[in-house]
Amino acid sequence: MIAIYPGTFDPITFGHIDIIQRASRLFEKVILAIAENDPKKPLFSLEERRELVRTSLSKVKNVEIHSFHNLLVHFAREQKASVIIRGLRAVSDFEYEFQMALMNKKLSSDVETFFMMPDEAYTYLSSKNIKEIAQLGGDVSPFVPKIVKEALSKRLSEICHSPR
């Protein structure tokens, strides 16, 4: 069975990695699908996010990394995936994710949504919070792989030193 784990992954965190590692034990193949057209205006380009994800997941063997720009259920159909994995960190995530799961089911009745909670050590992590901590000079090493920490530091330095 093929599953898709979609997201912006801007940047990938230990919470994402935890879900991917566990999902890779449950499914034959997991496709980490990076959203191309995201209204969130990612800090990292699509190619940069792909590389950070690829490096961070190099030890997980049955994971493929793709990007997508269409409806998730259409992408799932293209990839012959029957499951969409969504992470739930807290009750606050549930309402939005539940609505998305119902909408996806209406759009493609043959694709199921599979909710996973990260390990409790990562339930408070979000890419948005990681970027904010880094922007304010905090240490993000407990939350992201070393390569992501270095990329954040470099990108934020470029932004601070670029002419306005």
**Under 8 Å between Cβ of 114 and 83:** yes
* pTM for this model (two decimals): 0.91
Average pLDDT over residues 104-111: 92
Could you state, in order of their start, the residue ranges of all structural domains in the chain? 2-123
Catalytic residue among 22, 54, 89, 105: 89
Residue 20: name the closest of 66, 56, 67 by CA: 56
Higher pLDDT, 159 or 59: 59
Query: If DSSP codes are grouped into helix, strand and coil, which group holds residue 27?
Result: coil
Cα–Cα distances in Å, from 12 out to 43, 74, 78, 79, 121?
Answer: 12, 24, 24, 22, 16
**Catalytic site residue 59?**
no
164, pLDDT greater than 60: no
Catalytic residue among 24, 49, 56, 127: 127
Catalytic residue among 16, 49, 86, 149: 16
Q: What is the pLDDT of residues 86-105, one digit of tens each?
A: 999 877 788 888 899 999 99
**Catalytic site residue 16?**
yes
CA angle 105, 76, 52 (to 5 degrees): 125
Position of tokens 């093929």? 2
At 42, give phi and psi (nearest 5°): -60, 150
**Catalytic site residue 127?**
yes
CATH number of 2-123: 3.40.50.620
Catalytic residue among 40, 69, 74, 154: 40
